[in-house]
Structure 1
Amino acid sequence: MMKNITNPVSDEKISRLILKSYFEDLYDAVSSDVIIAGAGPSGLYCAILLAQKGFKVTVLDKKLSPGGGIWGGAMSFNRVILQKDVEGILKELEIPYKEEENALIVSSISFASSLIAKTTSFNNIKIFNLISVVDLYYIDEKISGVVVNNSAIELQKLHVDPMVLVSRAVLDATGHEAVLVNLYNKRTKVDLVNEFFMNAEKGEEDVINNTKMIAPGLFVSGMAANNVYGGYRMGPIFGGMLLSGKKAAKLISDYLNAH
């Protein structure tokens, strides 16, 4: 019988190559300039901008699929809306859109996949899914990394010790849960207000204004920022998320250059 595949790959080689490639990346990610927890729009765009400035970035997401809340669109209707203010960003990321009624309509699938593809195109960004942040690493009176474990281990509540990834700055882009800020709040109290009622216009402004440094080395963006400071929540509109990521990248870059 004639073979259709002229360069077969054995199961042994498949396993070996996957393990070698993955653990080379994980080994390299033990130390970064910036760790971003949460691979939603603000976290991914922040990573892209920091990478463009030459910083080494590690992105962690506890879920199987990076992209945050983009994929489902609105009520599983796979469309999202963005303001014309971010038209230039969509062009930069090569995300197709349609303009109607002075707003931009985007396929949620195209939006998420384009952000992920752009992020993974940088050699100085390492992105890991199915990794949960379970604590913060604190040294020299500042947040200096995160404590991580496999998401499946955390989900099953198994008693398996985590590991530390170190960095010069950490961004909480974990969305509504604000995981990192809540971990910080367990030891050093932060005035957590929690997000307010839904109002897209106000929420989109709030998410940018609330993107800040919480503590030395710890920053917050996206819905995590609104959860901390009591900003309005918003639905399937994402311009503010991109602009929050842009602001976070500027704040983190300035912090790293000053320290």
Structure 2
Amino acid sequence: MELDELIITRAIVDEFSKVFIDYTDVDVALVGGGPANLVAAKYLAEAGLKTVLFEKKLSIGGGMWGGGMMFPRIVVQEDAKHILDDFDINYHEYEEGYYVASSVESVAKLICGATEAGAEIFNLIDVEDVMIRENDAVCGLVINWGTVSMTGLHVDPLAIKAKVVIDGTGHDAGICNTVLRKIPGAEIGSGIPGEKPMWADVGERALMDTTKEVYPGLIAAGMAANAVAGAHRMGPVFGGMMLSGKRAAEIAIEKLRNE
């Protein structure tokens, strides 16, 4: 068969456009492609919710790819081990209660788990603003190409309608900071103080409390949740991140079922 470049081009643009248009109106939009949001995306999609995830960079997976200081291994504690099982990630016990997995395999299987469950992932898309309506709840996102924001070009954005938004943007807590900056009188935590110094045990435990709806329609997950609450950072132990993603999904599912 002789390959036709025009057919290849049309296939890419046509198929992307169909999917993108379909996902301009969703139940849950996740911002940031790190482990917390990837875990959340799987459980949300499995619950039958129309779920989309936006990542501004080329690669999905956040900081998990690099493990600890570019040693491609992660540690997960006992109470999060079941999530490794849910995603069919291989691991072994290093010492009692400490489980080690390949960071590369972990990211790959988190992505596969989310997409196979039915979540849609768009990379190279940056979220530059949120949408708010009369009830002051977050009801959508304003998006642009990641390269547009990185190069500082003035290009008008497009919009995504979402019933719930999950901020999984990491240390920056980008969506929460946008709401705090853009909405007069908005109250999110105590002004988003950022994370305290590393204390893995305290930071990991705090995530179950800091992962919550921090503003109507907006849930903070993963490192963004601890940044909003001023809790401690955790380092290359990823159990809390995964548990936070699952908790964020549970909060969104409950919220939408009660509406």
TM-score range for the pair, normalised by the shorter chain length: over 0.9
Match of 2:214 in 1: 214
CA distance in 2, matches of 1:165, 1:225: 23
Give the 4+ runs in structure 1 shifted more than 4 A. Answer: none
2:132 equivalent to 1:138 = yes
Q: CA deviation at 1:189?
A: 4.3
Aligned equivalent of 1:180, options 172, 175, 178: 175
**Could you report, residue by residue, the CA deviation over 1:22-46 in whole angstroms, capped at 9, with x for unpaired residues?**
1111101100000000111110111
**Could you report, residue by residue, the CA deviation over 1:138-184 in whole angstroms, capped at 9, with x for unpaired residues?**
11321101000101011111110011100111000111110000000
Structure 1 length as normaliser, TM-score?
0.95
CA root-mean-square deviation: 1.0
2:153 equivalent to 1:161 = no
- What is the identity, as a one-letter code, of the residue corresponding to 1:94? D
Query: Any unmatched runs of 5+ in structure 2?
Result: none
**Could you report, residue by residue, the CA deviation over 1:160-216 in whole angstroms, capped at 9, with x for unpaired residues?**
001110011100011111000000001224321211000111111112210010111
Aligned equivalent of 1:115, options 110, 115, 123: 110
CA distance in 1, matches of 2:17, 2:152: 24
Match of 1:57 in 2: 51
1:1-259 equivalences in 2 (<5 Å): 7-102=1-96, 103-123=98-118, 125-141=119-135, 142-186=137-181, 187=183, 188-190=186-188, 191=190, 192-259=192-259
Tell me how many residue pairs correspond in the alignment: 252
Query: How many percent of aligned residue pairs carry the same amino acid?
Result: 38
Q: CA deviation at 1:80?
A: 0.6
CA distance in 2, matches of 1:89, 1:156: 38
Local SS of the residue matching 1:197: coil
Q: Name the larger-Rg structure.
A: 1
Local SS of the residue matching 1:196: coil
- What is the identity, as a one-letter code, of the residue corresponding to 2:170? G
Local SS of the residue matching 1:95: coil
Q: CA deviation at 1:55?
A: 0.2
Q: CA deviation at 1:13?
A: 1.1
Q: Is the 2:75–2:238 contact (alpha carbons within 8 Å) kept by the matching residues of 1?
A: yes
Query: Any unmatched runs of 5+ in structure 1?
Result: 1-6
- What is the identity, as a one-letter code, of the residue corresponding to 1:18? I
Q: Is the 2:42–2:115 contact (alpha carbons within 8 Å) kept by the matching residues of 1?
A: no
Local SS of the residue matching 1:96: coil
**Could you report, residue by residue, the CA deviation over 1:61-91 in whole angstroms, capped at 9, with x for unpaired residues?**
1111011110011111100100121222211
Which deviates the most, 186-195 or 211-220? 186-195
Q: Is the 1:208–1:241 contact (alpha carbons within 8 Å) kept by the matching residues of 2?
A: no
- What is the identity, as a one-letter code, of the residue corresponding to 1:194? G
Q: CA deviation at 1:222?
A: 0.2
Local SS of the residue matching 1:33: strand
